Amino acid sequence: MVTSSPSGDREKVVSKLPSQLRHDLKVRAAQLGVDIQDAVSQGIEMWRTSGEELSSVDTTGGVAWSSWLPHGQWSELKQTCADRGIPLVQGLAQAIELWLREHSAPAAQPYVRRFVLCNQKGGVGKTAIAAGIAGACAEDSALQVPVAAEAVALQSDDEVADSDLPGEAEELLQKDEIHPGLGLRVLLVDYDPQGHLTKQLGAPTIGIDDPSLAKYMAGTVRTGSVRDLIVKLDDKRFAGRLHLLPACADAFLLDIMISTDRNRQATLERALEPLEADYDVIVVDCPPSLGVGMDAAIYYGRRREDEAPGNSGVLIPVQAEDSSADAFALLLDQIESGQTDWRIQVDHLGLIVNLYDARDGYVITSSLEAWKELKEPRVVGVIGRLKDQREAVRNKRALVSYAPTSQQAKVIRRITREIL
């Protein structure tokens, strides 16, 4: 399908592409600072003019994909494919493979990936998503896990039969891919004094008079190490790779505790930096606040010197409702102010629209469309109002361990692979 842009210089094309190839393209373009549509256009031109006989690409199980190309290039690709006697999808896949081959990834950077989950509105599911992403990162690479083809979970598996979902959405719920677990070393930081994450994972909160993350940030603890606070989650699915830094109620006073620090925005980084070499990913579950402590979390997620774009940043769970949009605007203002004041760059890893149910009516469905229309940050996943996470919380287990084949677990894995 081809749709012309209002300016007429580009046209939107819709085809299919293997999900792994689409993922590799997205990651490589981000690493090199190239717009995806420009990368695809370059690849098509390279492929059409190349005299090299390229290997066939396995396009089985391709998923819907779209991009904007210069006017007429899609027609030229179709004609070249016809001349070479190959399907259009195969020609497109070969063109992207060629671009990836000719544009190698930059040298590996030394930084741990830092995902800061934040929204000043409570009840949007920050904690559940933080635990889900951390669990999806830490699953043992010896496991073969189901991953949703699209980052959309509209309803739970047992509700699909009774639903009135459009055919396309129903088809999405039935598509899975099988991949090895990511096998990453992960630290989950419960930065919220309410301690929901700590309780959900069955770990004890830290005593109010004991050493804590807040006290290390404030510099009031001079002995020991923040490493002494870490709890390893005893779950064979993660093979010892998923660790938790539990919450303490003293973080209710964090803003006061660090307010007089000369570099208060750097206090979270000072506390966590000694741990970074031990992990591949650090996930910070923030409180619903816009205070000084939130400034420290935003600063911690900034892009460091020579760090690849999108390696770290903020991930924002929202709901499809007006109040969530209002809270989102306030958070964006805080992030933008911090970037200006501290002269830093904070990458937006994306929005996750959570607790979605189209049966709630027009306000919900239209709000989802409004979120999708945002270009920066973009929507990287939609998660329905599902029972699996609630049951996992009741059983004090991570979602991907409690219900590894549930629709929500599959989608959390897809979202995780989208942002990695």
The domains found in the chain, sorted by start residue, are 2-102 (1.10.1220), 113-419 (3.40.50.300)
Q: Kindly give, in sequence order, each residue whose CB lies less than 8 Å from that of residue 279, ignoring residues fewer than 6 positions away.
A: 112, 185, 186, 187, 243
Q: What is the C-alpha separation between 359 and 364, in angstroms, rounded?
A: 8
**C-alpha span between 194 and 347 (Å, rounded):** 27
Full 3-state SS string of the chain: CEEECCCCCEEEEEEEECHHHHHHHHHHHHHHCCCHHHHHHHHHHHHHHCCCCCCCCCCCCCEEEEEEEECCHHHHHHHHHHHHCCCHHHHHHHHHHHHHHHCCCCCCCCCCEEEEECCCCCCCCHHHHHHHHHHHHHCCCCCEEEEECCCEECCCHHHHHHCCCCHHHHHHHHCEEEEECCCCCEEEEECCCCCHHHHHCCCCCECCCCCCHHHHHHCCCCCCCHHHHCEECCCCCCCCCEEEECCEHHHHHHHHHHCCCCCHHHHHHHHHHHHHHHCCEEEEECCCCCCHHHHHHHHHCCCCCCCCCCCCEEEEEEECCHHHHHHHHHHHHHHHHHHHHHCCCCCEEEEEEEEECHHHCHHHHHHHHHHHHCCCCCEEEEEECCCHHHHHHHCCCCHHHHCCCCHHHHHHHHHHHHHC
Residues pairing with 284 in the sheet: 116, 189
Structural contact between residues 118 and 328, judged by C-beta atoms closer than 8 angstroms: no
Task: Answer yes or no: are the C-beta atoms of 340 and 154 closer than 8 Å.
Answer: no
The whole-number pLDDT of residue 159 equals 42
Tokens of 399: 């979602």
- The structure's pTM equals 0.75
State phi, psi for 392 to the nearest 5 degrees: -65, -40
- β-partners of residue 318 are 353
pLDDT one digit per residue (tens) for the chain, 420 residues: 556 655 567 899 989 998 889 888 988 888 788 889 999 999 999 999 987 888 899 998 788 888 999 989 999 999 999 999 999 999 999 999 999 999 988 765 678 999 999 998 888 889 999 999 999 999 999 999 999 988 876 544 444 433 444 444 444 445 789 999 999 999 999 999 999 999 999 999 999 999 999 999 999 998 888 999 999 999 999 999 999 999 999 999 999 999 999 999 999 999 999 999 999 999 999 999 889 999 999 999 999 988 989 999 999 999 888 777 888 899 999 999 999 999 999 999 999 998 888 888 887 888 888 888 887 888 999 998 878 888 988 898 989 999 999 999 999 999 999 998
